[in-house]
Structure 1
């Protein structure tokens, strides 16, 4: 893990995912799951796990 990531300065991937009022992404440097706070800062969610699912084909819903 890079020193910047250890200090909490993660770098989010260019296309975050919006879900239920939150943006989610992965860190470009270390691959950690990230959530964006209302202040606009990305952080690793403490005590939570981000579950990534493949996206459904366009025009089709999962379920």
Structure 2
């Protein structure tokens, strides 16, 4: 599923079948940026593709 800006404040558990994570995409992005000391990106200005690539990159950091 593609995450778009309208999905940023909906918990992953409601967006993705089988997910039990109550965190929203926005919360995931901001907490990951803080944890890895990344600069805060303007996710509102990102295209859907860029937003999804960014989320995939952040997920990769956690799974490294």
Fold shared by both chains (TM-score > 0.5): no
Shorter-chain-normalised TM-score: which range? Answer: under 0.3
Structure with higher strand content: 1
Which TM-score applies when normalising by structure 2? 0.23
Highest relative contact order (Cα 8 Å, sep 6+), 1 or 2?
2
